[in-house]
Amino acid sequence: MTPTSSSTHRYELFLVRLWAEGEPARWRASARNVHTGEETHFASPERLFVHLQAQMDGRGSIEGTRLLSDLDNS
- Is residue 18 in some structural domain? yes
- What mean pLDDT, rounded, does the chain reach? 79
Residues 27, 47 contacting (CB under 8 angstroms): no
Give the pTM: 0.66
Close Cβ partners of 65 (under 8 Å, ≥ 6 residues apart):
40, 42, 47, 48, 50, 51, 54
What percentage of the chain carries pLDDT values higher than 70? Answer: 69
Using alpha carbons, select from 2, 6, 12, 20 the residue that is nearest to residue 36. 12
Report if residue 2 sits inside a domain.
Answer: no
Given this model, what pLDDT does residue 5 score? 53
Give residue 62's domain range: 14-70
pLDDT tens digits along 41-52 = 999 999 999 999
Q: Is residue 8 part of a domain?
A: no
**The total number of structural domains that make up the chain:** 1
Q: Is residue 1 part of a domain?
A: no
Regions of the chain short of the pLDDT cut 50 = 62-74
